Chain A
């Protein structure tokens, strides 16, 4: 595997002098081509700043970002971003099809090709036949599918996603998570997704980078060795998932994360019922993940046998 993204010594601070706020400090990591990596960190830890630096939307105050070897300065051509706020990210004055075609306007693509590729990518996100509608005529989940289609239409080398499913309901979130994994596998794209949701990061990723509180620093880099085929119900109740979730949750609660700090060595994984406890307490602490905890509980009712097996 070749290296797609190389972030080294990345630092970003807002303002200068005494009022300066360091959002990201000395971050170093690489993402391999074809990987789906999640960055998980507490709210306000500088995740979005990190993503904006990588996407070239703001110049970092220190360090460097390289996209397949080329130094990023300004927005690179073969990079796309999906934002959390889909309703503001889609252009309301353009139809769904025109929104999706938009990035192709600036490339050497004929009008007929633009139309064909937009239709293709809309179909691949499950939105065939809505091209003539305006974004506001679609549900939130469908709107976010449109933004994903628009990001994918130019076949970017790297797709950045900034809390992409934080504004949709739990049911839709699950569907979009599965869509993201399927599309990533079908197109062989490289995705870097930022989230504050522990369950989501573990479910989605091949690899999870855990960030500390602001200024963001990497406290752990975990390989998620869950099977490639994942399922919202069975994967989430598998022992492996529960233990990984617990590990990430414990890392986020650890002193290195709470105290703003230096890069910590990787914590060895602990499996079993302890991990489940850790996850539960972390869920309670982080209100944003209670939705998914409820969903997990609901799933547990549906299939009591398997749950009992994994909890015992």
Chain B
């Protein structure tokens, strides 16, 4: 019985995955057809965009798995900036959020300030960051950290506060030493909320990466603006597409990590 239900479930999952990818492929095809019909330089055919992209990415020698210079000079540095800044933000955010959430008074003082900081659209601060850090990778990192920090902090505060009285009493009665308190009780309990914050801020990190690069003139952002101003529209569209792919891949990777770390949650386990 369990075998048949497992098989049925697997069939259902495969089915739904196939359907969503079919819809995705249909959208690309629709693009192709509309582009053929429109016959506009601003709106190239999907096949042309993909072919250009393949040229850009796969123009390298065989020993580099055909990966072109663009991968090493543009895509990877951009990704490293976004992910590095996001990781830094996660570190600071979880630490700060834990400290604020554990304190009985800190959020009374800082709550409004943090809500305000979170409400400032990060893009509007770009000129200020350029003045403060100059043009370069420092400015990009500062912009990404500033805009991804607050969702992580607020979610961590929420999660840390979700440790209920019964768990506190239980942990104390079981003799949990103070120095293990954060690692063994508080953070595990807060982890679901922390991951929600991390996922939200990962998409913000990619967004800010592109904006900072367009403004600062580097990486994928620079290629976007250059191809636009030099009328290389197929390549411009390729970079847009690539950003979508990168965002999707990173989010999927984070979800996989989340499933691993939060496998204990009722709605995520095998029996769910």
Q: Complex: how many Å from CA A86 to CA B188?
A: 18
Q: Complex: how many Å from CA A52 to CA B271?
A: 37
A137:B265 contact, CB within 8 angstroms: no
Q: Smallest CB–CB gap between B13 and chain A, Å?
A: 21
* Chain B 228-272 near chain A by CB (<8 Å), digits 1 or 0: 000000000000000000000000000000000000111001010
Interface-centre pick from B166, B188, B266, B271 (highest chain A CB count, 10 A)? B166
Q: Which residue of B lies closest to A79 (CB)?
A: B173
B175:A77 contact, CB within 8 angstroms: yes
A134:B264 contact, CB within 8 angstroms: yes
List chain A residues, Cβ under 8 A from B166: 83, 85, 88-89
Q: Which residue of A lies closest to B166 (CB)?
A: A88
A93:B189 contact, CB within 8 angstroms: yes
Q: Smallest CB–CB gap between B158 and chain A, Å?
A: 17
Decide: A92 near B173, CB < 8 A? Known: A83-B166, A85-B166, A137-B271. no
Contacts across chains A and B counted by CB atoms under 8 Å: 57
**Contacting residues of chain B (170-191) with chain A, CB-CB under 8 angstroms:** 170, 172-177, 180, 185, 188-189, 191
A93:B191 contact, CB within 8 angstroms: yes
Q: Does A72 contact B (CB under 8 A)?
A: no
Q: Complex: how many Å from CA A52 to CA B170?
A: 11
* Chain A 92-113 near chain B by CB (<8 Å), digits 1 or 0: 1111000000110111000000
Q: Smallest CB–CB gap between A159 and chain B, Å?
A: 11
**Contacting residues of chain A (213-233) with chain B, CB-CB under 8 angstroms:** none
A81:B169 contact, CB within 8 angstroms: yes
Q: Does A236 contact B (CB under 8 A)?
A: no
Candidates B164, B177, B188; contact of A93 at CB < 8 Å: B188
Q: Smallest CB–CB gap between B58 and chain A, Å?
A: 44
Q: Complex: how many Å from CA A91 to CA B266?
A: 13
**Contacting residues of chain B (124-182) with chain A, CB-CB under 8 angstroms:** 164, 166-167, 169-170, 172-177, 180
Q: Complex: how many Å from CA A102 to CA B176?
A: 9
Q: Smallest CB–CB gap between B17 and chain A, Å?
A: 27
Interface residues of B toward A: which range?
A: 20 to 34
Q: Complex: how many Å from CA A137 to CA B176?
A: 25
Q: Complex: how many Å from CA A88 to CA B169?
A: 10
Q: Does A168 contact B (CB under 8 A)?
A: no
List chain A residues, Cβ under 8 A from B174: 80, 102-103, 106, 150
Decide: A92 near B265, CB < 8 A? Known: A83-B166, A83-B170. yes
B172:A94 contact, CB within 8 angstroms: no
Q: Complex: how many Å from CA A45 to CA B173?
A: 23
B266:A136 contact, CB within 8 angstroms: yes
Decide: A88 near B264, CB < 8 A? Known: A55-B173, A57-B172, A79-B173. no
A89:B167 contact, CB within 8 angstroms: yes
A88:B167 contact, CB within 8 angstroms: yes
Q: Which residue of B lies closest to A94 (CB)?
A: B264
List chain A residues, Cβ under 8 A from B189: 93
Q: Complex: how many Å from CA A15 to CA B174?
A: 28
A57:B175 contact, CB within 8 angstroms: no
Q: Complex: how many Å from CA A14 to CA B170?
A: 21
B169:A93 contact, CB within 8 angstroms: no
Q: Complex: how many Å from CA A225 to CA B191?
A: 51
Candidates A75, A83, A89, A134; contact of B175 at CB < 8 Å: A75
Q: Which residue of B lies closest to A81 (CB)?
A: B173
Q: Which residue of A lies closest to B263 (CB)?
A: A134
A81:B170 contact, CB within 8 angstroms: yes
Q: Complex: how many Å from CA A235 to CA B191?
A: 48
Candidates A75, A77, A136; contact of B172 at CB < 8 Å: A75
Q: Smallest CB–CB gap between A1 and chain B, Å?
A: 25
List chain B residues, Cβ under 8 A from A136: 266
Q: Which residue of A lies closest to B172 (CB)?
A: A75
Q: Complex: how many Å from CA A52 to CA B171?
A: 14
Q: Complex: how many Å from CA A106 to CA B175?
A: 7
List chain B residues, Cβ under 8 A from A75: 172-173, 175
Interface-centre pick from B188, B191, B264 (highest chain A CB count, 10 A)? B264
List chain A residues, Cβ under 8 A from B266: 134, 136
B188:A57 contact, CB within 8 angstroms: no
Q: Complex: how many Å from CA A88 to CA B166?
A: 6
A88:B173 contact, CB within 8 angstroms: no
Q: Smallest CB–CB gap between B146 and chain A, Å?
A: 31
Q: Complex: how many Å from CA A107 to CA B176?
A: 10
Q: Complex: how many Å from CA A54 to CA B265?
A: 34
**Contacting residues of chain A (36-94) with chain B, CB-CB under 8 angstroms:** 52, 55, 57, 75, 77, 79-81, 83, 85, 88-89, 91-94
Interface-centre pick from B164, B175, B176, B264 (highest chain A CB count, 10 A)? B175
Q: Complex: how many Å from CA A102 to CA B266?
A: 21
Q: Complex: how many Å from CA A79 to CA B166?
A: 17
Q: Which residue of A lies closest to B169 (CB)?
A: A57
Q: Smallest CB–CB gap between A75 and chain B, Å?
A: 5
Could you show 9 A-B contacts with beta carbons less than 8 Å apart?
A79-B173, A80-B174, A89-B167, A91-B170, A91-B185, A92-B265, A103-B174, A107-B175, A137-B271
6 interchain residue pairs of minimum CB distance = A88-B166, A81-B173, A103-B174, A93-B188, A93-B264, A136-B266
A57-B172, A136-B266 provided; 5 other pairs, C-beta below 8 A?
A: A52-B169, A88-B164, A88-B167, A91-B185, A102-B174
